[in-house]
A and B are shown apart, each in its own frame.
Chain A
Amino acid sequence: SYVLTQPPSVSVAPGKTARITCGGNNIGSKSVHWYQQKPGQAPVLVIYYDSDRPSGIPERFSGSNSGNTATLTISRVEAGDEADYYCQVWDSSSDLWVFGGGTKLTVL
């Protein structure tokens, strides 16, 4: 089955740029979606189709996808961005949704 690999944690200082990766075999050929989840809350979609932002999501959030790695980039990081982030793809060869293991973003 298809596997998505994320780093367990990423730390960044306020105002800097955070990059969270999501690795998968030829993931560049798939559409990647990203979700943010704060403690005790339901997930929130922050990026869909690799790089599109839903309404209400700040422009500081962006995404890219190529080769074997998709990346969620958060610019000018704020304390309120501290959360767990999950990547997701639809594996059409198996008709299965796959989530990455999640990355905890810590704002120093």
Chain B
Amino acid sequence: EVQLVESGGGLVKPGGSLRLSCAASGFTFSSYSMNWVRQAPGKGLEWVSSISSSSSYIYYADSVKGRFTISRDNAKNSLYLQMNSLRAEDTAVYYCARGADYGSGSYYVYWGQGTLVTVSS
């Protein structure tokens, strides 16, 4: 059974940093692209970042470019999102999602349950 479990969310002050993790199991992690998607309270889905299976291709939404860094450790079956210079508008539930194949342009087959990030003073 495919499982994606996010962790690392919490309350952080504006300008602060946080590192999210997504632990994957039930599939060959190194064969699939991975993604981060967020959802602000009461709002719609917003794509954040994607990384190909071998980390060769990495993409970011304009809203987080230069502040967030996506990475993965295929040996540990884990996906990460380093978030710096956090703003109030980054407050959201952050989901990790697995792509359908190795490329960053593949749709999202599986999603985790999300971790809440709150940016507030």
Is there contact, CB below 8 Å, between A96 and B61?
yes
Is there contact, CB below 8 Å, between B44 and A98?
no
A42: which of B44, B46, B100, B112 is its contact (CB, 8 Å)?
A: B112
Q: Which residues in A have their C-beta under 8 angstroms from that of B97?
A: 43
Q: Say yes or no for A101: interface residue by CB 8 A criterion.
A: yes
Residues 12-41 of A at the B interface (beta carbon under 8 Å): 31, 33, 35, 37, 41
Across chains A and B, the number of contacting residue pairs, with CB separation under 8 Å, is: 57
A45: which of B47, B95, B105, B108 is its contact (CB, 8 Å)?
A: B108
- Of the listed residues B35, B97, B111, the one surrounded by the most CB atoms of chain A closer than 10 A to its CB is B111
Q: Say yes or no for B75: interface residue by CB 8 A criterion.
A: no
Chain B interface size, under 10 / 10 to 19 / 20 to 34 / 35 or more: 20 to 34
Q: Which residues in A have their C-beta under 8 angstroms from that of B114?
A: 42
A48 to B37, CA, bound (A): 17
Q: Say yes or no for B78: interface residue by CB 8 A criterion.
A: no
State whether A98 and B59 are in contact (beta carbons under 8 Å apart), knowing that A42-B112, A48-B107 are contacts in the complex: no
A86 to B100, CA, bound (A): 18
Nearest chain A residue, comparing its CB with the CB of B58: A95
Which residues from chain A sit less than 8 Å from chain B, CB to CB?
A: 1, 31, 33, 35, 37, 41-45, 48-49, 54, 84, 86, 88, 90, 92, 95-102
Which residues from chain B sit less than 8 Å from chain A, CB to CB?
A: 35, 37, 44-47, 50, 59, 61-62, 95, 97, 100, 104-105, 107-109, 111-114
